[in-house]
Chains A and B, each alone.
Chain A
């Protein structure tokens, strides 16, 4: 296993368009997390899944954002009607279940809304 994989690595889109990102976690990891990182800031939690169940969503995740993990494996994050403020790095991480675990991060998808 090569770790957490995210696709695409870079995305440039026009304001108002919809975009979808994909995350493939480490195969044996039950938990999957999405974070957003704007330039010069630390990552901010967006949402997380335990298998296919979305257990928590941040208030940062507006109605234009939706995340899925249909079969408890890969996950998608969709942003509808993108705005310039959505420009950021979107990070995915995964971990095993339990408290004494480590989150492994992907390289992220950098979104630029023009």
Chain B
């Protein structure tokens, strides 16, 4: 079975600085998808960024980028120029087939210090 591990329960960063959230996963599949989701307090989960395993190039979405190391099964999220609105729970997730049956990590609570 696939598993996703986030080893950082909490992280904090000063506003405008850069922070990296870690994620490792385990799978025997060669083709899969990885995601970072953001869950603000009392609000719905939203997709931050997605990476297809067959793509060697790391995904980037504005201030958000990933470091995808397929051999090491590592998928970290870098947030540049952190903003107060980035404060949330961040979940790393895996799927063998796109949006179906996501397997989530335990989450990392990110605090932004003004």
A residues adjacent to B (C-beta < 8 A): 3-4, 31, 33, 35, 40-45, 48, 56, 91, 93, 95, 98-103, 105-108
Alpha-carbon distance A4/B42, docked complex (angstroms)? 15
Q: Does B59 contact A (CB under 8 A)?
A: no
- CA–CA, A37 to B37, complex, Å? 14
* A107 vs B37: C-alpha distance when bound (angstroms): 14
Contact of B102 among A4, A40, A103, A108 (CB under 8 A): A103
Residue of B nearest to A29 (CB): B99
B112 CB-CB contact with A under 8 Å: no
A-B Cβ contacts below 8 A, count: 61
Given A33-B102, A107-B44, 12 more pairs with CB closer than 8 A: A31-B100, A42-B106, A43-B91, A43-B102, A93-B45, A95-B98, A95-B100, A101-B98, A102-B47, A102-B50, A105-B37, A106-B44
Contacts of A31 in B (CB 8 A): 99-100
Our pick among B4, B99, B103, B106 for the contact of A103 (Cβ within 8 Å) is B99
Contacts of A93 on B, CB cut-off 8 Å? 45, 99
Cβ-neighbour of A42 out of B47, B99, B105 (below 8 A) = B105
Q: Which residues of B pack against A, CB within 8 Å?
A: 4, 6, 33, 37, 42-47, 50, 52, 91, 93, 97-107
A45 to B104, CA, bound (A): 9
Taking each of A41, A45, A99, which has the highest tally of chain B beta carbons within 10 Å of its own beta carbon?
A: A99
CB distance from B75 to the nearest CB of A (A): 14
Q: Are B101 and A45 in contact (CB under 8 A)?
A: yes
